[in-house]
Amino acid sequence: MTFLCVQQKRRVSMGIFLFKEIGVSLKALRFVPSSLQVFHPHQESNANRRWALCLLGLVILCLAFAGCRAKEETLPIDLTEMLVYTEDASRAKSADMNRLEAIGGNVGEESPLWPVYTFLLGEVRRLRGEIREAEICFEKIVSWSAADSSREKWGGSGLAGVALWRLLQLRNSDPRLEARDVSRLLSSADKVLKARLARGMFRLPVLESLPMLEEDIKRQSALLAERSGMPKEAQRFFLDYLAVARAVDLSKSEKTLLQGLVASGMASEDHVALLRGRRLYELRRYSDAAKFLEEARKGENLQVRAEATFYLAMMKSSYKEAHREEKLAWLSEVADSAHDPDLAQNALYSMGRALRVKGEKSLSLKAFERILTDFPLGSRADDALYELAQEYHYSGEVDRSLQRYEELRNFKGRSDFASYSGMDPAMMLYGRNGEEGREAAQALLQDLERRVPEGPYHLNALFWMGRIAADRGDHRRAQEYFKKVIETSPFDYYALRARMHLRMGNRASQSLLPDEETRKELRSLYNGSRHEVHLSGRSAYHLRLKAALDTGLYRAVYGAYQRLRERIPAKRLEDLTVEELEQSGLFPQVSVLLALRQDAFAAAESLDDRDDIAANYLEISDKVGQAGDLPLSMSIIIEGRDIPEKSRNEQRAAMERRAFYLATAYPPCFRNEILAAATQQAGAGDQVSPELVYSILRRESLFCSTALSKAGALGLFQFIPSTFDSLNARWDLLLESGAPSRETFLLSPTLSISLGVRWFNEELLPHHDGHVLFALMEHNAGLGNVLQWKRYWKDLGRLEDVEYIIETIRARETRLFTRRTVADLMVVDAIGLFKD
């Protein structure tokens, strides 16, 4: 492994180069060329000195400039060599520490890779048993992050959170503690836990994270404060820990902390039980949660009892008759007794939904109506109005539904349904044909654009106003709407449909895939988007990410993450214990990956201009995708991370307007596996296209072969255990493939894709006479729902209107999945990803 010279050497070599360039030597400083001797003899000596001083000043300036440029242009240090030494103690002890220290000589605190180097060095020293030296490394990172020299509250690096955890671990095992050091460390812990990059390491809704570290930091902080005679700090940290803890049993020291917490009056026993039960409920560990919630329900505090009862009710299934009655009784109790208005409304709302499942329509409607009567501007009033509007809509009571939608549009409280209240009734009116229905729908869509300009339904509204204008014969106006959609977000579903309408007219509504001219246009745009992409940003996050990508560090730590997922396939990263992470030997490398992912988000979001942010996100997406991290690449483009939906839509639209969007958003991955599966499964019946398979993988798993959802869906195609077991019982999948387990089978890209193709060909497509759209919907929502929805569209005479069907799928999750997957299918089919 070759490492670069230090920056000072580069400055010297640059200085020599500049000397040669300007024709200056030490001799020239003493003697001015004769051609320049224009002074009188008695002035020559002074003139020579002045001339020499001028040249010397110029050289010094050039050297200074060269030094600055050298610092900026110094190639990054390669840290991949250090990774192997962090896997276990024997490898750490084999490390040449002089060599590692020499690397550190080139990585000053101002270097982008300094936190990565310092963290890895700390891990190596810890494994070697050099505890004090390891502590120094971790303490440097924690102090640096807590100081937040950039003043932007990002915290420098996500590795600060991991370093804090390590430091607390080591300090708690140190018998010699000084209270002054502990106080300073706990103060830093508060700051690091609030820093955005550290929080992202612990809580990231799209990609995986390390919440167990946040829990342990709070637990370790409490124990450390208790040992150091700081009871109030200990109780504060321990209460925070209990709110996020996954452990059921407490150690002897933790029980002592709990006793002190209750004795201090900071929390009662029933409140603690509620905290722990609620946390376990959130983790879907219902049997463990029930124990604590039952304990909380026996307490004296009425509010705690009501909240515990609510969570116990929510764990009961609405679809099992034996559970449903108890659930309804508990929810009714909470609705009548809760002092917290939000809790009472949540109970009534859940009652209404459970009663609807039971088939008690009138009682269901009464529960929603009671929310509006008792809490007219409450937190659930908008949900109640929407449920009532939907129920009347699908039961054919159009006028009552329109009335509720109007109330929702005029709602004075906080509402999550500002866009739905215009879009849904517009589609209901449009679906019933006739000029009157179209006119009313147009008015609602125009009102939606006025009330929520550039909102999440902006493109929907523009597109359907275009369709209505075309239906009414106003083709000029229709073209204006369609072109506006394309201009705003060129490759969104609505823009793709708009392109088809501009060429095909109303015939486009009955075609799932683009016409030939639209295909050619998209293919041309795709070919024009394929060019070399560079990270253009200059923030510390850009530079760190660029260094990790250029040296292969990013690819190496992503490979470690993949190995960890393959070793423990049945658990998500956040479900692992600290012990499992440690035993894997890959924890430090996975930590570096997650920190670099945080840098990727920070890099783009550190900019101000929306278009610059979009360009940066695309550049980052392209680069990390090339390094193998397709999940991050696709999540940047598809999910838009955890930002508000309006901003997310704007960000996605801005990305689509960049010239290199298509090639970045649709990488040619898993082509061989998809084509092989399609060929292997080819037969006389219905055949799923490679383009559809690709589109499903892109949406279901972000092309992550080890993806594991919270519901247990595993692999590229995201088969849940019950579905796989059912198919295995019929098709002998494990026996036929030789795979030893369900997890091994689904983690194999080849086997997962092959099963997905077979499932579509032999199950889903035959259910719907080969109709791809309905098969796709069944994949997401199940056969029963799709059959019910098909009856609704048939009654409206809309069973051939592809666009209306997609727009009015009743389940929002299925509607979004279907619309987005169809958009991907249209693009992939047009650009010929599987035809070259």
Cβ neighbours, 10 Å, residue 814: 21
Highest mean pLDDT among 208-212, 227-231, 631-635, 821-825: 821-825
Write 144-153 long-range contacts (CB < 8 A, 24+): 144/109, 144/115, 145/188, 145/191, 145/192, 145/195, 145/198, 146/187, 146/188, 146/191, 146/192, 148/191, 148/195, 150/540, 152/606, 153/194, 153/195, 153/196
Question: Which residue type sits at 808?
Answer: T
Summarised one tens digit per residue, pLDDT across range 285-312 is 999 999 999 999 999 999 999 999 999 9
Phi-psi region of 491 (alpha: psi -120 to 50; beta: other; left: phi over 0): alpha
Q: How far is CA 512 from CA 468, 490, 818, 819, in A?
A: 19, 18, 12, 11
Backbone angles phi, psi at 115, to 5 degrees: -65, -35
The Cα 43–Cα 726 span in angstroms is 103
For 509-542, give the DSSP string: GG-SS--HHHHHHHHHHHHHT-S-------SHHH
pTM comes to 0.87
**Who's near 143: CB < 8 A, 6+ residues apart?**
188
The Cα 629–Cα 619 span in angstroms is 14
Summarised one tens digit per residue, pLDDT across range 79-121 is 999 999 999 999 999 999 999 988 888 888 888 999 999 999 9
Q: Is the pLDDT assigned to residue 54 strictly greater than 80?
A: no
Look over the chain and give the mean of its residue pLDDT values, rounded to a whole number.
88
For 140-190, give the DSSP string: HHHHHHHHTTT-SSS-S-THHHHHHHHHHHHHHT-S---HHHHHHHHHHHH
Confidence of residue 10 (pLDDT cuts 50, 70, 90): very low
Residue 320 has a pLDDT of 81
| Average confidence (pLDDT) over 314-339 | 91
The Cα 649–Cα 584 span in angstroms is 39
Angle 641-646-651 from CA coordinates, rounded to 5°: 55
Q: Which residue has the higher pLDDT, 282 or 70?
A: 282
Backbone angles phi, psi at 342, to 5 degrees: -65, -40
**Who's near 274: CB < 8 A, 6+ residues apart?**
292, 293, 296, 304, 307, 308
Q: How far is CA 161 from CA 155, 215, 623, in A?
A: 9, 11, 25
Which of 112, 118, 131, 206 is CA-nearest to residue 588? 118
Q: Is the pLDDT assigned to residue 179 strictly greater than 80?
A: no
Confidence of residue 563 (pLDDT cuts 50, 70, 90): very high
Token couple for 421: 């209240």
Residue 314 has a pLDDT of 96
**Who's near 353: CB < 8 A, 6+ residues apart?**
318, 364, 387
Summarised one tens digit per residue, pLDDT across range 186-196 is 999 999 999 99
93-123 burial, b for 16+ CB within 10 Å, e for fewer? eebebeebeebeebbeeebbbbbbbbbbbbb
The Cα 774–Cα 796 span in angstroms is 17
Q: Is the pLDDT assigned to residue 78 strictly greater than 90?
A: no
User: Which residues make beta-bridge pairs with 101?
Assistant: none
| Average confidence (pLDDT) over 327-350 | 96
What is the chain's Cα-based Rg? Answer: 32
Cβ neighbours, 10 Å, residue 492: 22
Angle 603-609-614 from CA coordinates, rounded to 5°: 60
Cβ neighbours, 10 Å, residue 265: 8
Summarised one tens digit per residue, pLDDT across range 141-173 is 999 999 975 556 788 999 999 999 999 999 998
Q: Is residue 435 within 8 Å of 464, Cβ to Cβ?
A: no
**Burial bucket for residue 6 (CB in 10 Å: 0-12, 13-18, 19+):** middle
For 328-381, give the DSSP string: HHHHHHHHHH-SSHHHHHHHHHHHHHHHHHHT-HHHHHHHHHHHHHH-TTSTTH
Helix (H) / strand (E) element for 239: namely: helix 231-244
In three-state secondary structure terms, 817 is helix
Of 17-31, 42-56, 426-440, minimum mean pLDDT range: 17-31
Residue 639 has a pLDDT of 73
Q: Is the pLDDT assigned to residue 390 strictly greater than 80?
A: yes
Q: Is residue 785 within 8 Å of 794, Cβ to Cβ?
A: no
The Cα 439–Cα 29 span in angstroms is 88
Relative orientation angle of helices 252-263 and 231-244, to the nearest 10 degrees: 110
Summarised one tens digit per residue, pLDDT across range 401-460 is 999 999 999 999 999 998 999 999 999 999 987 899 999 999 999 999 999 988 899 999
Summarised one tens digit per residue, pLDDT across range 481-522 is 999 999 999 999 999 999 999 999 999 999 999 999 999 999
User: Which residues make beta-bridge pairs with 714?
Assistant: 708, 719
Kindly state the percentage of the chain with pLDDT values over 90. 74
Q: How far is CA 720 from CA 396, 573, 633, 716, 753, in A?
A: 35, 18, 24, 11, 14
**Distance from CA of residue 792 to its chain's centroid?**
35
| CA distance between the termini of the chain | 39
Question: HSE (CB half, 13 Å, CA atoms) of 761?
Answer: 20
The two most distant CA atoms of the chain are separated, in Å, by 115
Residue 531 has a pLDDT of 83
Q: Is the pLDDT assigned to residue 23 strictly greater than 50?
A: no
